[in-house]
């Protein structure tokens, strides 16, 4: 995919702020600090359009990035960060449910996991939540640059098992550092946009 145009349209915290256009949307999901924003930047060849940080909790709103004037990537806040108050967790839950429940143009979700670890309990819950809404899920095992080549297959198999993934959903190893997996991610995403 050749990206010629990418812009932030809005950082939304509630439904009334979502863009009103009817173009396809692909949302991100995953733990805090796992690499959701970095994934978007790598796919669209922009260093820091989606703001990233080495500290968890960087993305706090639903950020709508319009790509090639034809579809949206929607970056979201992560889950599973221990140092978050109950109140903040509830706010996150409400914001995410409102989005996933109401967004008609949402075509698929990219669930980012860390290739160095098995999916967490939170990852399992997120996968189930997305499947409840009948959404196609593309699982990305990111930070591929941090593991030895021999460990890839093991990760891919374990991820399928732990998440109890449906046969039609795919797992793609990826690195935002090296760009490995980028073409595979685009060729899968193309069918939804």
Phi then psi dihedrals of residue 44, to 5 deg: -100, 10
Q: Which H or E element spans position 8?
A: strand 6-12
Output 65 or 165, the one with its CB closest to Mg ion: 65
120 is a site residue for ligand GTP (CB under 6 A): no
145 binds, among Mg ion, ligand GTP, none (CB under 5 to 8 A by kind): ligand GTP
Q: How far apart are CA 174 and CA 127, in angstroms?
A: 19
Output 78 or 119, the one with its CB closest to ligand GTP: 78
How far apart CA 32 and CA 68 sit, in angstroms, is: 27
Q: Are 40 and 26 in contact (CB under 8 A)?
A: no
d(CA 80, CA 137): 19
Asked whether the beta carbons of 1 and 49 are under 8 A apart, the reply is no
E-state strands within 14-152: 25-30, 62-67, 71-75, 106-114, 137-142
Among 29, 30, 37, 111, binds Mg ion (CB under 5 A): 37
Cα–Cα distance for residue pair 155/165, rounded to 1 Å: 13
Among 139, 172, 176, 189, binds ligand GTP (CB under 6 A): 176
The footprint of Mg ion on residues 4-33 (CB under 5 A) is: none
Residue 38 near which of ligand GTP, Mg ion, none (CB within 5-8 Å, type-dependent): ligand GTP
Which one of the spans 91-99, 138-146, 160-168, 183-191 is the region binding ligand GTP (CB under 6 A)? 138-146
Of the candidate spans 50-58, 96-104, 130-138, 150-158, the one that interacts with Mg ion by CB under 5 A turns out to be 50-58
Which residue carries 């993934």 as its tokens?
165
Binding residue (CB under 6 A) for ligand GTP from 12, 25, 29, 36: 36
Does 59 sit near Mg ion (CB under 5 A)?
Answer: yes
38 lies in the binding site for Mg ion (CB under 5 A): no
Binding residues (CB under 6 A) for ligand GTP: these are 30, 32-38, 52-54, 56-59, 77-78, 142-143, 145-146, 175-177
């Amino acid at each position: 995919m050749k990206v010629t145009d990418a812009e932030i349209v809005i950082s939304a915290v509630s439904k009334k702020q979502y863009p009103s256009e009817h173009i396809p949307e692909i949302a991100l999901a995953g733990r805090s600090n796992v690499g959701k924003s970095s994934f978007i930047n790598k796919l669209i060849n922009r260093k820091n359009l989606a703001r990233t940080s080495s500290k968890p909790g960087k993305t706090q709103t639903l950020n709508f990035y319009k790509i090639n004037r034809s579809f949206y990537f929607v970056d979201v806040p992560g889950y599973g960060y221990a140092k978050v108050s109950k109140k903040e967790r509830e706010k996150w839950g409400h914001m995410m449910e409102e989005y996933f429940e109401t967004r008609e143009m949402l075509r698929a979700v990219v669930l980012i996991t860390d290739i160095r670890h098995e999916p967490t309990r939170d990852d399992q819950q997120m996968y189930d939540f997305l499947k409840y809404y009948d959404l196609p899920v593309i699982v990305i095992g990111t930070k591929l640059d941090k593991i030895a080549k021999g460990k890839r297959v093991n990760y891919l198999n374990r991820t399928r098992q732990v998440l109890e993934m449906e046969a039609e959903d795919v797992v793609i190893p990826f690195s935002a550092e090296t760009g490995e997996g980028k073409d595979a991610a685009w060729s899968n995403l193309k069918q939804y946009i």
